Amino acid sequence: MKKYQVLVLLGVMFLLPIVLAKVILNQNWYTGGVTNRGELLTPPISAQWLAKPETWQLIYWLPQQCDEGCEGALFHLQQIPVAVGAYQDRVKSVLLVAPQNQALPTPQSLTGIERYNSDDSELHPFENSEYGFNAVYIADPHGNVMMAYPLATEQQAILTQGKDILKDLKRLLKVSKIG
């Protein structure tokens, strides 16, 4: 009888970690080693009209009234392409302008930001995304919008968000095989 208890105890010792690991993974209690600071969009928003070979893009939608979050996003669009350093030629900033906003003047201080007059059909995928127009997005050279950074409104949070976008973008540029 004693030799069977040892055998059962030995079996439990080897099977218990496997069963526990399976339960932890099935219950989504383990998040893994996430290194990105923005929100990964699954599935990515496909915007073929944004596709530019060998160019990663920071995208923001210009609202009619620019508040603190909007000003922070415009600041990011202007500063981050310069801050990526050696990868400057691979990053562009795009300001999406809705049809009803196309008559609005673009702020004079925005240099180096491409203004794109979009139509409603092009903005529809952004409108239906989790963050809508209240985020700065990163698009790859194939036109897949893959990461979102919801707008921050507090000054310190805006600066932290800029560092997060820069860190993620540098990592993407470093490991990217597509641009």
**139-160 residue pLDDT tens:** 999 989 999 999 988 999 999 9
pLDDT digits (tens, 9 = 90+) for 6-15: 889 989 999 9
Q: How confident is the model at residue 109 (pLDDT cuts 50, 70, 90)?
A: low
Per-residue pLDDT tens over the stretch 121-134: 777 778 778 888 88
Please tell me the predicted confidence (pLDDT) of residue 92.
93
Band the pLDDT of 101: cuts 50, 70, 90.
low
Of residues 64, 65, 61, 83, the one with CA closest to residue 74: 61
Locate 49 and state its tokens: 């009209």
> Taking Cα atoms as reference points, which of 62, 58, 82 lies closest to residue 70?
62
Whether pLDDT at 108 is above 80: no
**Cα–Cα distance measured from residue 134 to residue 124, given in angstroms and rounded to the nearest whole number:** 14
- Cα Dmax for the chain: 88
Give the type of residue at 19: V
Q: Rounded to whole angstroms, how far apart are CA atoms 151 and 69?
A: 5
Mean pLDDT over 56-72 rounds to: 88
What is the spatial distance between Cα 109 and Cα 55, in angstroms, rounded to a whole number? 23
Helix boundaries (H) for the chain: 2-26, 68-83, 120-127, 155-175
Structure tokens at 37: 């600071």
